[in-house]
Structure 1
Amino acid sequence: MQRFLLALLPLTMLLGGCTAVGYDMIETASISPRFEDTKPMDFGARNPHKHQIHGIDVSKWNGDIDWFSVRKSGVSFAFIKATEGKDTIDPKFDGNWRAAASAGLPHAPYHFYYWCSSADEQADWFIANIPKAAMKMPPVLDVEWNHDSKTCQYKPSPLTVRSEMQRFMDRLEAYYGKRPIIYTSVDFHRDNLVGQFKDYYFWVRSVASHPSEKYDERRWAFWQYTATGAIPGIKGSTDINVFAGDAQNWKRWLVAMNK
């Protein structure tokens, strides 16, 4: 029980610091977009640019990154692809991980789940490649349907999905001492996660409308709002995300995650 309460403490701190308007709706004055977007969407009143804390997620597809320029541009955090399945590591991970740290940018590794390998195989692979001492923000479990996969078209039942996720996340939490963040997409969440894992932080993808319109009964900590952002220091389009709380919430959350 003590472990469970400790895991919930950062969530309580975050919720307690938000405005009365709600966890994912920060009331601020109308502001211009923080970063350029080659295909901007009109999100209406619940525009992601009302949020103070923006971050990116990157992988090998982003090429060589100038992390000092990224940090200087106003990016506050980065999710960096680390592993996939039971035997794949992103070839840019080590360089990105070290450079983000050198630039002083808070960052977390993410694992892309492969539904044709077991949870233990994938947890073993992640743990073998990501040093415990390097883990400052919680690790991320990326769960979505990979319709373009040439090697795995298997779509397990919702019960199996949740069981595999829980096993994987339990392994990582036991090793790193941090409860993982769950990243997911609209269709995967609809098929498997509505009403589930309420004691976990969620990072959700919603590039055409506010998450509240796409995710039933889901509070979120991070929102991926575009895949076509333009960030200084990165060539080509980039995913951009926002943190649900304000700048003060963000500082408290980072401190809580490093205890």
Structure 2
Amino acid sequence: MTRARIVLIVAAVLAVATLIGWRWSLGWAPATARFAVQGVTVSAADGAIDWPMVRAQGADFAFVTASSGTARDPAFEGNWNAAHAAGLRHGALHRFSLCESTADQVTAYLTTVPRAADALPAALALDVAEDCDAHPTRAQVLSAIRGFLGPAEYHDGRPMMLRVSAAFEDEYRVSEAIVRPLWAERAFLEPAYLARPWRLWQANPARRIDGVARPVAWSVAAP
């Protein structure tokens, strides 16, 4: 067998292995034997959602994006009501921006999310965005986060959860400074980058499930 043919065979095997791994990753979720409570995060970008089907796929809860920066999510009300009707516990999520006014972000959130005693505590998503090149100091970032949490938590009547990406935590060490329930992110492997134990773990950022046209972020609650 020639060297060229061996190279082609190896390349083909690697391509097949990659395809199998990719397909496996799309359907993967942590075992329910250990992580009994699991759920999704959705936004308008996910399109129309068949919520009873999402529940049938094993979702116990849903975090529904309410606002991103100063923009209100146009699908929030429909997803919020439909998740409730399907029997899923549901909470609101705001994606925080370092490039937009904190006061305007508060306004977008407060004018979108209703007060609901039966809802899950809301979540504030903190991540380094590719479309934002701002580099404020840690003190400025912590002050802005606290500036959002104050009115948002007064509105909701309970503390918010902080969903902190590894990159954001590495730069600003939020979990050391602001004591709130934490939501970590790491694909496939349990995260350990936060200063305190996490309550939720976003384990698969792009899981394919029936009921949603696009892959959705899939999270689990700590056992």
TM (norm. structure 2) is 0.82
Partner of 2:136: 156
The answer as to 2:149 corresponding to 1:166 is: no
**Which whole-Å CA distance do the structure 2 matches of 1:70 and 1:117 have between them?**
33
Give 1 or 2 for the bigger CA radius of gyration. 2
Shift of 1:133: 3.2
The answer as to 2:33 corresponding to 1:52 is: no
Of structures 1 and 2, the one with the larger relative CO (CA 8 A, separation 6+) is 1
3-state DSSP class of the match of 1:162? Answer: helix
Shift of 1:110: 0.7
Shift of 1:76: 0.5
From 216, 219, 223, give the equivalent of 1:241.
219
Indicate if the aligned counterparts of 2:57 and 2:210 stay in contact, CA closer than 8 A.
yes
Shift of 1:244: 0.4
Matched residue type, 1:38: R
**Which whole-Å CA distance do the structure 2 matches of 1:66 and 1:180 have between them?**
27
Indicate if the aligned counterparts of 1:38 and 1:229 stay in contact, CA closer than 8 A.
no
Shift of 1:80: 0.9
Indicate if the aligned counterparts of 1:225 and 1:240 stay in contact, CA closer than 8 A.
yes
How many residues matched? 199
Unpaired runs of 5+ in structure 1?
Answer: 1-36, 246-259
Partner of 2:197: 219
The 1:126–1:134 alpha-carbon spacing in structure 2 relative to 1, beyond 3 Å, is farther
Partner of 1:188: 168
Q: Among the aligned pairs, what percent are the same residue? A: 29
Partner of 2:11: none
Shift of 1:193: 2.0
Within a 5 Å distance, the mapping from 1:100-111 to structure 2 comes to 100-111=83-94
Shift of 1:217: 2.5
Shift of 1:233: 0.9
The 1:68–1:127 alpha-carbon spacing in structure 2 relative to 1, beyond 3 Å, is same
Partner of 2:121: 138
**Which whole-Å CA distance do the structure 2 matches of 1:156 and 1:225 have between them?**
29
Deviations 1:55-106 (A, max 9, x none): 11111221110001111222100111111122x1112212111110111111
Partner of 1:229: 207
The 1:141–1:216 alpha-carbon spacing in structure 2 relative to 1, beyond 3 Å, is closer
Partner of 1:6: none
Indicate if the aligned counterparts of 1:58 and 1:79 stay in contact, CA closer than 8 A.
yes
Shift of 1:198: 5.4
